[in-house]
């Protein structure tokens, strides 16, 4: 990417107050930037303001390496939580998976087709059956089996691999292990999980069986940021499909797999494009 089409994206959340939109726009304008996307929202219940602003860096008056220091006084004056990203940055993803490979195959294929602006250098699994899937797409595969006795050691080895491969985002593509709070806290808002249910309904294990036994007429999938609370993190994307009394648990599983792939890929794409802002246990998603 050349300097002529390089863009910067600023994500902001802070207490709602007067002048926020004007102040950010004036900062970009005063330094010669051309805003190409801008969106904001005020959560009146929480009294929180969130904003996403993207501008062209060509002819911008502040070098990219100096931008954080230049914006910090504004952030301090409004009590902002903020982050800054550049369009030539290529994040590195680690995919964690267990036995079921549909979400893994989908992410790897989308990456190969250029639909995800990221690298997927490693796949980590507690089973061995998806090794060929990973290596066929050029990813290194690490088999790290786990049981109750070895779980702390296994998580330490996973973290070691994430650091070694300089991973920015962890994607749980039907990884059927519960991560410890300590693990999750090491990657805040950087672990995306796909749950095969329309949360908050049917959290935990075997959601399709729970849905079948309840006789629901809709099943769904939910992609969310992982937190210490099981299946309770901020939601990024969800989708549903109709089912009926004719469906069995097996047909619900079959229908649900398509939802899981699309919903997870959508959430990963939104994260990579810096279109999500987490505040409290909610997300603002700027489509």
The answer for residues whose C-beta is within 8 angstroms of residue 22's C-beta and 6 or more apart is none
Per-residue pLDDT of the chain (287 residues; tens, 9 = 90+): 445 689 999 999 999 999 999 999 999 999 999 999 999 999 999 999 999 999 999 999 999 999 999 999 999 999 999 999 999 999 999 999 999 999 999 999 999 999 999 999 999 999 999 999 999 999 999 999 998 889 999 999 999 999 999 999 999 999 999 999 999 999 999 999 998 776 566 666 777 788 778 888 888 899 999 998 888 899 999 999 898 899 888 888 888 899 999 999 999 999 999 999 999 999 999 98
From 82, 43, 76, 38, select the one nearest 56 (Cα to Cα).
38
- β-strand partners of 119: 92
> What fold, for 7-86?
Alpha-Beta Plaits (3.30.70)
Q: Which CATH superfamily is domain 92-285 in?
A: Formyl transferase, N-terminal domain (3.40.50.170)
Helix (H, G, I), strand (E, B) or coil at 213: helix
Residues of the chain with CATH 3.30.70.260: 7-86
Residues of the chain with CATH 3.40.50.170: 92-285
The answer for residues whose C-beta is within 8 angstroms of residue 192's C-beta and 6 or more apart is 169, 170, 171, 172, 223, 224, 225, 226, 236, 264, 267, 268, 271
The residues carrying an active-site annotation are: 231
């Amino acid at each position: 990417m050349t300097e002529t089409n390089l863009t910067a994206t600023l994500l902001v959340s802070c207490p709602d107050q007067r002048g926020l939109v004007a102040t950010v726009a004036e900062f970009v304008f005063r330094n010669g930037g051309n805003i190409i996307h801008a969106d904001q929202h005020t959560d009146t219940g929480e009294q929180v303001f969130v904003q996403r602003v993207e501008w062209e860096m060509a002819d911008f008056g502040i070098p990219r390496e100096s931008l954080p220091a230049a914006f910090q006084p504004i952030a301090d004056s409004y009590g902002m939580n903020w982050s800054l990203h550049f369009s030539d940055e290529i994040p590195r993803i680690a995919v964690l998976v267990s036995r079921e490979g549909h979400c893994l195959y989908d992410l790897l294929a989308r990456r190969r087709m250029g639909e995800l602006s990221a690298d997927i250098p490693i796949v980590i699994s507690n089973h061995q059956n998806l090794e060929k899937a990973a290596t066929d797409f050029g990813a290194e595969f690490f088999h790290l089996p786990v049981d109750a006795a070895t779980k702390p050691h296994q998580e330490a080895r996973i973290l070691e691999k994430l650091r070694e491969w300089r991973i920015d985002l962890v994607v749980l593509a039907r990884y059927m292990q519960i991560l410890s709070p300590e693990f999750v806290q090491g990657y805040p808002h950087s672990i995306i999980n796909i749950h095969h249910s329309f949360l908050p309904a049917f959290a935990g294990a075997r959601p399709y069986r729970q849905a079948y036994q309840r006789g629901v007429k809709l099943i769904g999938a939910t992609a969310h940021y992982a937190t210490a609370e099981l299946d309770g993190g901020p939601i990024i994307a969800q989708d549903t499909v109709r089912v009926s009394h004719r469906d069995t648990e097996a047909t619900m599983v079959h229908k649900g797999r398509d939802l899981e792939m699309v919903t997870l890929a959508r959430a990963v794409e939104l994260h990579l494009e810096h279109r999500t802002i987490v505040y409290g246990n909610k997300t603002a998603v700027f489509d």
